[in-house]
């Protein structure tokens, strides 16, 4: 019987097609890697809608999704309520493989379309895809992985059944690596649920990987760490005034801390949300009236290392998430303000 190589694909947005290759020394930064720009607000409730599937398929998907929250203790909550506007929407098309949009990309997919497909559910496939849905990337694309791909063989194998991928899709989903400034983590984890099994013929240095069907110890430790979704003491949400006379003072007091702010606007138009000070922060803007609907994000768009988002808003309530760029060690004070 011919060998069947089933490999998950990242379902990517058009603006991510030109992802840069690594150009800096990583010095042990990345591991069970999470894509910084696609993380949900820590503590988010992610609603799940099944767009088909048998009761047994749905039950297995739910069971493995909860590995991340119940076994690994990520500070997220999955709510399987089939809401029409659910953040995660799942189909079970056997002709479309296994794939998921990554993290907050799910909110940019039209509501009548799925954000995940479970065309096969071998081993821990559903857990793997839910890992993507909460922002995790493929472990084989970790720049610290040491994999030297035999491109011709990989493209040939994945171009045939059951995947039928064109060469560009193979390069994006397998061969290309993330740059160190796109991800967060430590070292390569050969036991990660986010790593698929590859034969030795796919690499020039004879490295092969095994099928991982459960979360590894490093998966569990990482997803609940300050670099991802820690269950730290909640930081109160601070209300910002639009066009206030002065900016609001704030501080990242502990590594991994996440500060949350909210503001309301009664007028339609261009708004600017920006930070000030010497602390290197990353900002995300969500709304209106939703803590999971991502509008925009920024790192270093303001003066120096400050964040700045300028966008048109409609009347409503908005939420701002601030994290230090270096979640493992970073602390510091900053200010934040909103103006029209």
CATH number at residue 302: 2.60.120.380
User: Is there a domain that residue 229 lies in?
Assistant: no
Structure tokens at 138: 């493929």
Mean of pLDDT values over 32-50: 79
- For residues 263 and 192, membership in a common domain is answered with no
- For residues 242 and 209, membership in a common domain is answered with no
- For residues 218 and 257, membership in a common domain is answered with no
* Confidence bin at 290 (pLDDT 50/70/90): confident
- For residues 189 and 311, membership in a common domain is answered with no
Q: Are 78 and 63 in contact (CB under 8 A)?
A: no
Mean of pLDDT values over 23-30: 31
What range defines the domain where residue 244 resides?
238-339
Helices and strands of the chain, counted as H and E runs: 5, 17
Q: Are 230 and 327 in contact (CB under 8 A)?
A: no
- For residues 26 and 113, membership in a common domain is answered with yes
- Number of domains making up the chain: 2
Distance CA 182, CA 30 (A): 10
Q: Tell me how far the alpha carbon of residue 87 is from its chain's centroid.
A: 13
Residue 17: predicted pLDDT: 42
- For residues 285 and 322, membership in a common domain is answered with yes
- For residues 57 and 145, membership in a common domain is answered with yes
Q: Is the pLDDT of residue 53 over 90?
A: yes
* Confidence bin at 194 (pLDDT 50/70/90): confident
Residue 2: predicted pLDDT: 43
- For residues 74 and 144, membership in a common domain is answered with yes
Residue 227: predicted pLDDT: 76
- For residues 27 and 156, membership in a common domain is answered with yes
Q: Are 295 and 285 in contact (CB under 8 A)?
A: yes
Stretch (H or E) spanning 41: none
> Which DSSP string corresponds to 141-197?
G-TTS---B-HHHHHHHHTSTTT---HHHHIIIII----GGGEE--S--TT-TT---
Residues 6+ apart with CB under 8 A from 18: none
Q: Which of 223, 255, 282 is the last residue of a domain?
A: 223
- CATH number, position 39: 3.40.390.10
Residue 180: predicted pLDDT: 39
- For residues 219 and 242, membership in a common domain is answered with no
User: Is there a domain that residue 228 lies in?
Assistant: no
CA distances from 81 to 135, 306, 332 (A): 21, 39, 40
Q: Are 76 and 230 in contact (CB under 8 A)?
A: no
Helices (H), the chain: 55-66, 125-133, 151-158, 167-170, 217-223
- For residues 261 and 195, membership in a common domain is answered with no
Residues 6+ apart with CB under 8 A from 199: 3, 5, 208
* Confidence bin at 139 (pLDDT 50/70/90): low
């Amino acid at each position: 019987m011919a060998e069947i190589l089933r490999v998950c694909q990242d379902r990517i947005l058009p603006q991510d097609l030109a992802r840069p290759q690594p150009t800096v020394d990583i010095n042990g930064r990345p591991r069970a890697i999470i894509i910084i720009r696609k993380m949900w607000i820590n503590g988010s409730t992610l609603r799940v809608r099944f767009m088909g599937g048998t009761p047994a398929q749905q039950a297995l998907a739910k069971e493995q999704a909860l590995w991340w929250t119940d076994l690994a203790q990520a500070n997220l909550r999955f709510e399987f309520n089939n809401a029409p506007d659910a953040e995660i929407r799942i189909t079970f098309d056997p002709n479309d493989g296994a794939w998921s949009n990554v993290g907050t990309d799910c909110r940019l997919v039209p509501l009548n379309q799925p954000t995940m497909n479970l065309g096969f559910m071998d081993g821990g496939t559903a857990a793997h895809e839910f890992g993507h849905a909460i922002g995790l990337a493929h472990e084989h694309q970790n720049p610290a992985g040491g994999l030297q791909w035999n491109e011709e063989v990989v493209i040939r194998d994945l171009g045939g059944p059951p995947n039928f991928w064109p060469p560009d899709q193979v390069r994006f989903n397998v061969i290309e690596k993330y740059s160190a400034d796109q991800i967060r983590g430590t070292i390569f984890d050969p036991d990660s649920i986010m790593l698929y099994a590859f034969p030795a013929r796919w690499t020039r240095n004879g490295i092969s990987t095994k099928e991982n069907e459960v979360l590894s110890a490093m998966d569990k430790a990482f997803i609940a760490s300050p670099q991802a979704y820690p269950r730290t003491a909640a930081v109160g949400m601070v209300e910002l005034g639009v066009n206030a006379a002065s900016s609001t003072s704030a501080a990242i007091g502990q590594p991994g801390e996440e500060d949350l702010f909210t503001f309301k606007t009664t007028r339609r138009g261009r708004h600017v949300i920006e930070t000030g000070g010497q602390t290197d922060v990353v900002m995300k803007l969500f709304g209106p009236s939703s803590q999971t609907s991502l509008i925009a994000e920024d790192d270093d768009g303001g003066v120096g290392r400050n964040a700045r988002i300028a966008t048109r808003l409609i009347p409503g309530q908005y939420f701002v998430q601030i994290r230090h760029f270096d979640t493992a060690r970073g602390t510091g004070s900053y200010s934040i303000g909103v103006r029209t």
